[in-house]
Amino acid sequence: MIRIRARLGPGHTSIEVDGHEGHAEQGRVCAAVSAIAQTALLGLEEIARQHPDLVSIQITEEK
């Protein structure tokens, strides 16, 4: 089961994606969710790089 939690508030948004789906259609659902989440993250990183005075991004890697 893949779980996606989004929190929306005045001036902030957070999205958390976790879990794994390894059954339906040879894992294609899991791959699709992962690809969309990673693409969004890469896009936000690029915006922060282009506009460091307006956008900052902090990414932490859990082990």
Q: What is the pLDDT of residues 7-41, one digit of tens each?
A: 999 989 999 999 887 766 677 888 899 999 999 99
Contacting residues for 19 by C-beta, under 8 A, at least 6 apart: 1, 2, 3
Give me the mean pLDDT over the 40-46 stretch: 95
Query: What is the pLDDT, as a whole number, of residue 20?
Result: 85
Query: What is the pLDDT, as a whole number, of residue 60?
Result: 87
- The C-alpha atoms of residue 58 and residue 40 are separated, in whole angstroms, by 14
> pTM here?
0.76
Query: What is the pLDDT, as a whole number, of residue 25?
Result: 65
Query: What is the pLDDT, as a whole number, of residue 24?
Result: 65
